[in-house]
Amino acid sequence: MLRFLTGLFLAGVYPVGMKIMATWTKEDRGFGIGMLVGALTLVTIRLVPSLERWVGWQWAFAFLALGPAAGIWAMSALRRLPAASRLALGKG
């Protein structure tokens, strides 16, 4: 079950992160998205083996699921803002 939830949450990181990065880096979008993907990959490659040795693989991946879970919480909180629908349509 933890493996499924981790995959589900991690799958939500890339599209949201790319949308944010593409919005923030209009001039150099390719560089920004490359930095995002590289950072996520590097952290996963370096962090997971260390955590796995320390707490076991199940808890290492459960720890990584905290970030996407926090993102889902933040998105649901931000939806309630008055400007949310205007921003969602790209009329920021």
- The total domain count for the chain is 1
Nearest to 14 by CA among 45, 46, 38, 31: 38
Q: What is the pLDDT of residues 13-34, one digit of tens each?
A: 777 788 888 888 878 888 888 8
Rounded to two decimals, the pTM is 0.48
Domain carrying residue 47: 2-88
Q: What is the pLDDT of residues 64-89, one digit of tens each?
A: 788 778 878 877 887 887 777 776 66
Secondary structure of 17-59 in the HEC alphabet?
HHHHHHHHCCCCHHHHHHHHHHHHHHHHHHHHHHHHHHHCHHH
